[in-house]
C-alpha cells in the first residue's frame, strides 16, 4: 500500500509533510516549521509521530521540533554535516545513505546550495521527494551558503529522478516563481498554461505543492538552464549550464 501524504500549511508560507503507513501505524513528519499546526492535524487524525526528518538548519523548518518530539517521543533524523546547528539528532545521516521510515526505503540526497548540508529525502517506492528549499515549484532556494555550481549539481541530481516523482517543497512561492519564469521563457506554452493554473489555485487559496517533477522539467527555469532555447534567450549560447543557472538565479534575486 502506498503511504498517505498530508501537506500541512505552517507559518505564513511554509509547508510541512506528514507520511502515514496505515498498515503499521507509523507516521513521519518532514520538517517542523511550527508545532501547533502540525499537532492539530495529528490530533484530528489520531496519529502519533514516530519520526521527524529535518532537511536543513533554518528556523522556519525546525522551530517545532522540540515540542513535537516531546509530544510522541519521535525519532529525529537529520544530516550529520548539519548536526551542530540542528536540534539533537537520534539518527544522523549522510548523502548516499538509505534508511527506513514508515516501512519504506528513504534515500538521502545532498542538495547543498541554499545551505551547506541541506539534504533531500527520496522515497522510490512512493515516488516522493522532499526537497524543502532546494528544488521548489517553478523555482529554487536562494544561495545563502553554497555556490551556483553546487546548487546546479544538486538540482541536476533531483532532475535525474523518475519524472513521475512528486516534489514536496517547503514554501508557497509558486505564484511569484511563475511570474519570473515567464520573463525567461515567455514562449513556453507549458509554462504559460502552468502559470494560469497556479494563479487560479492561489486566487482560491489552494496550495500549489507538491508538484510533479515532469512539470518542473518542462517549466522550471532553474532546471532548464541546459536547454539550448534558454541559453539563446539569455544570449548565453556558449556558456556552461552552471553559468546559465547562475545568471537565472541572479535575475530572480532582483526580480
Which residues are designated catalytic?
Answer: 56, 58, 60-61, 114, 133, 171
CB 67, CB 35: distance < 8 Å: yes
CB 245, CB 222: distance < 8 Å: yes
CA separation for the pair 117, 110 (Å, rounded): 7
Distances from the Cα of 39 to the Cαs of 64, 65, 144, 188, 191, in angstroms? 10, 11, 30, 41, 36
CB 38, CB 28: distance < 8 Å: no
Rg (CA), the chain: 18
Distances from the Cα of 146 to the Cαs of 55, 62, 84, 102, 149, in angstroms? 15, 20, 18, 32, 8
Amino acid at each position: 500500500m502506498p503511504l498517505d501524504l498530508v501537506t500541512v500549511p505552517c507559518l505564513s508560507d511554509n509547508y510541512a509533510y506528514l507520511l502515514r503507513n496505515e498498515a503499521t501505524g507509523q507516521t513521519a513528519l518532514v520538517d517542523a516549521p511550527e508545532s501547533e499546526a502540525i499537532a492539530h492535524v495529528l490530533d484530528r487524525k489520531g496519529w502519533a509521530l514516530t519520526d521527524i526528518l529535518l532537511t536543513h538548519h533554518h528556523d522556519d523548518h525546525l522551530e517545532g521540533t522540540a515540542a513535537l518530539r516531546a509530544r510522541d517521543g519521535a525519532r529525529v533524523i537529520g544530516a550529520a554535516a548539519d548536526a551542530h546547528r540542528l536540534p539533537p539528532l537520534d539518527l544522523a545521516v549522510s548523502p548516499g545513505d538509505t534508511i527506513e521510515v514508515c516501512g519504506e526505503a528513504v534515500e538521502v540526497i545532498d542538495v547543498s546550495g541554499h545551505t551547506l548540508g541541506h539534504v533531500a529525502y527520496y522515497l522510490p517506492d512512493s515516488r516522493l521527494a522532499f526537497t524543502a528549499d532546494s528544488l521548489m515549484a517553478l523555482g529554487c532556494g536562494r544561495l545563502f551558503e553554497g555556490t551556483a555550481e553546487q546548487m546546479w549539481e544538486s538540482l541536476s541530481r533531483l532532475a535525474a529522478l523518475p519524472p513521475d516523482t512528486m516534489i514536496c517543497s517547503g514554501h508557497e512561492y509558486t505564484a511569484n516563481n511563475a511570474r519570473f519564469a515567464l520573463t525567461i521563457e515567455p514562449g513556453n506554452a507549458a509554462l504559460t498554461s502552468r502559470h494560469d493554473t497556479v494563479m487560479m489555485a492561489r486566487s482560491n487559496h489552494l496550495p500549489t505543492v507538491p508538484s510533479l517533477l515532469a512539470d518542473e522539467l518542462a517549466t522550471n527555469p532553474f532546471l532548464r538552464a541546459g536547454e539550448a532555447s534558454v541559453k539563446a534567450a539569455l544570449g548565453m549560447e556558449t556558456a556552461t549550464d552552471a553559468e546559465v543557472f547562475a545568471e537565472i538565479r541572479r535575475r530572480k534575486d532582483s526580480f
